[in-house]
Structure 1
Amino acid sequence: MRFSIALIAASAAAVHAGVFTQKTYNAISISGGVAGNAENEALAVFSALDQNNLASADKADIDFLKSVNRICNDAEDKAFNTAIDAASGDAADALQRGKIKNKVLKLEATILRLKIQQAQGVDVAKDMAAELKKLNNNISQDEAQAGKPSTSLSFNASTS
């Protein structure tokens, strides 16, 4: 009987593992292409997550979303800002659009993490309001540039 209970517990734990796997920044980046659809592009990156049952999300999923935020911040600080400062004209504008799309990806990861925590009973209302304001601002900036070229930058980082 003990073996059966242990086997059932082990099986339940295996089924409840996170849905995300380690990815490089370049694999999840949405910065390239054209501006205007960053919100949908970002949500596609996280489509493996069952948004109808966020309470069942695993700690590994929360950790993945935190790491997306971290590597997107690093890409912004160490790649985009430097490249934008060194560029001018249309090239700088396209890099800025890529940076905005990167911010949308980062903020969508943050909002998903907060939604999971909220579904699991954590009070995140204050953080949610602040992050939604940032997300909506960046989505608006992206949509205002719809159809214009957006430049991605290669960046060496990966999620955890």
Structure 2
Amino acid sequence: MQIPTLFVILFAFFTAAFAAPVERRAAVAVFKTQTYNQLSISGGKAGTAQALASAKFAALNLANAKNVAASDLDFLNSVNQIANDAETEAFNPAIAAATGAAKTALQNGKIQNKVLKLTASVLKLQVQAAQGQNTASQLATEQKKLATNIALDKKAAGQAATKLSFNAST
């Protein structure tokens, strides 16, 4: 019994097609360069920093964290760095020079800034963990800091919070 030539050709084609390595689609970045002032969640009233920070990073698809673009991890790291710089170079000196209600409002703004900074850090570590990196210890530390600052923000709910401008970008 002879196997028809068309069958052999089709068999070879489908065998090659299914045996070929699957090309992984490159992750598409969801974040673009932004200034600190565009990213800042400080100002207004204290108490909603967690929701405001989450909204800044809502485009990040944590359900598909394995495929988050490296440039988005860089963005999150950059947000952490510039928010940290704003804390040390803008908020801390302003708080040290202020008194009374102005000082409290600046402190509330600083806490909002810290929630933004730590949210970016936690998200970056969660994505890195999903991508196979061992971030468990660092993630636990950052989550604890974030929870502490969210609690401080909620405790001050309704109080004034001051937004400070800071010249930096991601």
Task: State if a TM-score over 0.5 links the two structures.
Answer: yes
Q: Partners of 1:150 and 1:85 in 2: how far apart? A: 16
CA deviation map 1:15-55 (0-9, x unaligned)? x2311000000001001111001001000000111121111
- The residue number in structure 1 matching 2:55 is 44
Structure 2: runs of 5 or more not aligned: 1-22
5 Å matches for 1:113-132?
Answer: 113-132=124-143
Q: Following TM superposition, by how much is the alpha carbon of 1:124 offset from its aligned partner in structure 2, in angstroms?
A: 0.6
Structure 1: runs of 5 or more not aligned: 1-8
CA deviation map 1:103-157 (0-9, x unaligned)? 0000000000001001101111100110011000000000000011100000000
Cα RMSD of the aligned pairs, angstroms, is: 1.2
- The residue number in structure 1 matching 2:13 is none
- The residue number in structure 2 matching 1:3 is none
| Matched residue count | 148
Q: State the 4+ residue runs in structure 1 displaced beyond 2 angstroms.
A: none
- The residue number in structure 1 matching 2:89 is 78
User: 1:105 pairs with 116, 139, 142, which one?
Assistant: 116
Question: Which AA in structure 2 matches 1:136?
Answer: A
Q: Which structure has the greater CA radius of gyration? A: 2
Q: Following TM superposition, by how much is the alpha carbon of 1:90 offset from its aligned partner in structure 2, in angstroms?
A: 0.1
Which of 1 and 2 has higher RCO (CA within 8 Å, sep 6+)? 1
- The residue number in structure 1 matching 2:103 is 92
Question: Which AA in structure 1 matches 2:164?
Answer: L
Q: Partners of 1:62 and 1:77 in 2: how far apart? A: 23
Q: Partners of 2:66 and 2:50 in 1: how far apart? A: 23
Q: Partners of 1:40 and 1:52 in 2: how far apart? A: 19
**Percent of pairs with identical residues:** 54
